[in-house]
Structure 1
Amino acid sequence: MMYIETSRLLLREWEETDLESFYQLNADETVMTFFPKTLSMEETNLFYQSIVSEFKQCGFGLYAVEVKENKEFIGFIGFHRAAFEADFTPCIEIGWRLKKEAWGKGYATEGAKACLQYGFDTLGFKDVYSFTADLNHPSKSVMTKIGMSFIKTFHHPKVEKSSPLSKHVLFHISK
């Protein structure tokens, strides 16, 4: 099922054929720079299963992204119910992860803008949040480009406090 279409991208339902490319994405040290670690095939499969489960439970999730021109899977953009312990959770989070060959082409911004419109107009969201490690300047730039506003910094409870990735930034947008 196709959920969202932009001029260059299809944001669609996941297919089992995406798994190998998804694993390569999650195993890429450059892509995963702002995450505590890369993911194994087993961890990627569990992540895939949780994405599929969230779609079944909520009717939304992290959409598989492909480039229309060549039908290439390049990663995901979409929504997730963030429920870790924080003063702004539970909330709807928008996030993205694209393979490095897709960086610098505006795909994250294009897809995330379309997701926000879909989330507000079709899914009825009132508020959407996004967060990342404070060191992740590319993602913070996307958050700004899609109209989100910086709220605060916080220490992510699922990241070791001693890690340079612990300090996160929180962004928000409302309908």
Structure 2
Amino acid sequence: MIYLETSRLQLRDWRETDLDPFIRLNSDEKVMMYFPKPLSSEETITFYKSIISEIKECGFGLYAVEEKVNKEFIGFIGFHRAIFESDFTPCIEIGWRLKKEAWGKGYATEGATACLQYGFTELDFSDIYSFTADVNKQSKNVMRKIGMNFVKAFVHPRVNEKSLLKKHVLYHISQNDISLT
């Protein structure tokens, strides 16, 4: 199923053929530089299964993304139920992860903008959050470009105390913040 389409992207259900490029994506040290570590094949397969499960259970999730022009899988963009212990959870999180070759083309912004519209109009979310390690300037830039507002810095409870990634930033947008036309 195709959930969303932009001028250059399709956000769709996952296919088994996405698994090998997804494993490569999650094992790439550059792609995973703002995460605690690259994922092993086994960890990616577990993640893949949890994404599929969340989409089935909730009717939304992290959608597989492909370029329309060549139908090539480039990563994911979509929603996730964030449930770790924090004063803003549980919440709906918007997130993205794209392969290096797709960086710098505006795909994350394009896909996330379409997701926000979909989340507010079709899924009737009232609020959507996003967060990342404070050092991740690229993702913070995407958050601002899609209209999200900085809320606060926080210490992520699932990141090692000694990690440079421990300090995170939280962004938010509500249905009232955007034009739904």
- Give me the TM-score of the superposition, normalised by structure 2: 0.96
Match of residue 164 from structure 1: 164
CA displacement, residues 59-84 of structure 1 (integer Å, 9 cap, x when unaligned): 00000000000000000000000000
Give me the whole-angstrom Cα distance separating, in 1, the residues matched to 2:32 and 2:39. 9
* Corresponding residue number in structure 1 for 2:178: none
Aligned residues: 175
**CA RMSD in angstroms, aligned pairs only:** 0.3
Give the residue type in structure 2 aligned to 1:52: I
Partner AA of 1:99 in structure 2: K
Give the gaps of 5 or more residues in structure 1: none
- Return the offset for 1:137: 0.1
- Counterpart of 1:66? 66
User: Are 1:153 and 2:136 matched, yes or no?
Assistant: no
Amino acid aligned to 2:126: K
Identity %: 73
SS at match of 2:63: strand
Quote the Cα distance in structure 2 between the aligned partners of 1:69 and 1:17: 18
- TM-score between both structures, scaled by the size of structure 1: 1.00
Q: How many angstroms does 1:162 deviate by? A: 1.2
- Corresponding residue of 2:124: 124
Q: Which runs of 4+ in 1 moved over 3 A?
A: none
CA distance in 1, matches of 2:26, 2:142: 20
SS at match of 2:94: strand
Separation in 2, partners of 1:112, 1:2: 15
Q: Any gaps of 5 or more consecutive residues in structure 2?
A: 176-181
**SS state at 2:147 partner:** coil
Partner of 2:23: 23
Corresponding residue SS for 2:33:
coil
Shift of 1:5: 0.2
